[in-house]
Structure 1
């Protein structure tokens, strides 16, 4: 061992590395170096490390060397602990914060910490006795069902009675180590993260030379011990190891910023606005101009499968230029035992904290059960998982830089405490993209080379009601179809894949559908029920996208106006096309016009206190029973008939705007807000109000 060590950093780490080298039979020489380049021993070591004879020599494995450095750094600052481990009987716990390093730490401790005369035993072999200096070393990675606080306490008591050193190692000592070990422990240690000096020391231990190149700080934060085993080898030069390490780490999924940035995404509505604000805040935070407390750091994305919740998180990370740690409840539950699930949850949060500032994306968050709905059989299991998640979410405040984005198809299934203020307290629903957004999504996946200057709205209209994931698949298949035909991609290839053999809407039905949607639009505007956003003709029917007005939504007349707007699609068909040409499209399905109008009329009679029964509110069960009474049904149908008559009057009085909107919609298949405003400006809508003498009055809107 080199004796020129006075004042040198990491003395214990270098001593541990020398011990591991001796155990491995390496000929690389001591690592306790003086730091003086003119020292003859230093120069001799340099000469040996670059000589041809040094190639192919045995060396310490890089991951084991890294574990040795971190263990030594945990022990060395505790005054007298190094000596106590070899001569005394201390009780120590060590948190590794990750399951993958537990076995490496155990190996380091066994070889380096307790001295040559010690016999290192575990909880299965300790009680056999017969050793002059037994040591109880419990290394639990949390993946076994036995790694619990209630297991191994008798063995700890035996070791304490035998005055043996007791050392426990686990990712989460409180959950994985015997309870009595923690109660008796004099020292609670924790492994630090790898830093650039530790990495340089590992490279020196393996190659015999300290690197002259420094590792990029962002790369350092993303390095795992396993990365060192892949990058640092004895047959490479030290600086080459640094380059290989940076190259391997840069390929990790954390830094995979392929795909669109947030600014390029279409169809995300309020989520996109939230993300753009976060991107700006993170830039300000990284520049030191914004405090972490000022940043909104939790979001729950809700929406059906395929709307792009995962893509949204990737895009936010790309735009902000920060790593993305992606995990899911399914990944956590892949472990065979609860202890493994808890360890996986902690690992995800630990990784995020190490990479901060970053985005932590948790998919399928509804997979964690709501404690309020748990049965006795699973209550204890899921309660521990929810409690750990809540603990870690609260701890985000203590380690700034981590923004948590959760994703779910069922936000109502998530435990209320997870969505409490200070955790994931903002929920934004991502709706299915409209036609304009679908056209933009088609353009993105087609790229600038395919179908340039081609209007993609026909494909978008055919794709109505589908998701961005569907669009990606259709474009991929359409390109394959064109390749097989040995020709350039055409729009008909895309539409063929979208329709999957379905026929387009027949022309006569397309006109009926256009009239129907135009009726909704004109009456809704006339009565100020909503602000129109878009009209669409899809292969399966039409759609009117609106923003409902809240100004009169609680009054009887305001609610009846809503019913009139719902029935105005059928009214338009009867007035414009004739009663014999009216379609059944308004009355199909639970979400149809007729269904919503009937439910609203029922609420007026039986729930809102505006009916003939008076001020009363009936429960669902009572309402169902009352609907078997013909007199109650008559009250509801009479109200619906009055509303339909009113809708016909409004359509008849606004025939020109209805026909103008219908013709444009039939022609283009899609009207956005600007096109709607242009049409209504040219053809003003009037609110026709019958006077007391049977005539009509009205004003333009």
Structure 2
């Protein structure tokens, strides 16, 4: 049997309402493309140097050049015997160039002498680049290599020198951030935290009357309830910079780094004037000092001490508010929670039904929903779910709708998603024998009949004999409304419902199976808590022997051990737990014996349909009570 526990509210998607992040303070260094630019410039210089020897003047053919010499139109020529290039000047002052042969032909020499042409032979040696480039290339390569190594080393030194800087991300007002409108539900939390927004917007109002705003606000709540989102919404509403950092960002392998980062964080906030410093998971650095078990952690304690000093070092009127979030307020150091530091705690609890409905509305916005989908039913069927779990529930329902080829998300998709989130995926490949299926049907029918007939039990939602998660079958009960406390009648009836599967197996088949293992575990724990923690035993009386001490804190290591009370009291506790369980078993046996016809009809309906809802179970039990069938003899399991 599976009973729906109380779930929690999902933090909105990480990307929604996020402000802009400030650029990193570290030096960006040279871009990667700069190397290619330098290489291109170097090649360009070589090309220019090689082509710089070209002379000006018009290019003519060698034949025209010879004809010009014969016509006495050439005043002078210069012959380069290395490149066979001939440059010259006409008698009218114009220049020309042409290409001859490696060695000047005797014909040209004779023509030049015959026509009084000034002949200037030129023997050109190798250029500077041709001579020195092959020698300079290795030196340039090794120089570039040394430069790269030096640059890398200086970058590493820069990282080491900046290791004490804070890693806080800055969300400024340049990009719109999250506001309270983006946070579904939690109206009470918003009201409690609104005065922080008013202080950051209009600090003069508080200064005139002499009021002092709390220096630190601690958001406390289970994981996934949106504590970080609420802190970001405060910054968005106030329109001030928001410095966000995780508690683990202060810890490093080097001694003193955490304290240095705390100092840098507060200095950065003071330069901004008005700002919010938000530390997520503050319990990672704010744990109790000298806890005992496992020894201390000097670096963590130094970081905590520095944070305490910094919080004492700024006035409340400076416009800096510290906010922190944790789901473990019990392990925080008392010095961190005293007045003048984190002197206000805002509880962010699991959402109520109306808040779950609002959260579901946020996460289903923009999705194609079936017209018959009732989000009120979904919200009622998800008690105890956080916002993150509700977000996951909506996503699982959408995925199931796509896998089934539907265009809209319907009730069936949310039913599947809830089963998957709470108990695991359905094991389609698991095949039960007929005997196992019949045994499972009567087991779940026993739970269902008891849940239907007992006055104080939660209403029955559905029963299935399809294997889900680790269970061969599931009986789901959904509370009509959220419960915040449980009376003794409710607890006793819940134990009777848990016994229904085991008692049904005994009545019908005369055997006991391992299928009731989880039912017995849940029943025993509940009965023991009734006796040891909630004072619901006449013999034990108003005494509490339970506790929630954490072993890793070095406190209450043996808190729940029997050494904390006498052997006589231990015997009384054991007797009372056994009495509660025995009485619940007898009540369950009486209910199922008197409604044996209803048990049989529900089991047969499960064998036929595999899944039936609570209304069907109620109708079958009522039909059997109105027209009782002949008693069915007990059978045995093959």
Query: Which band: TM-score by shorter chain?
Result: 0.3 to 0.5
**Larger RCO (CA under 8 A, 6+ residues apart):** 2
Q: Please report the TM-score for the alignment, with normalisation by the length of structure 2.
A: 0.47
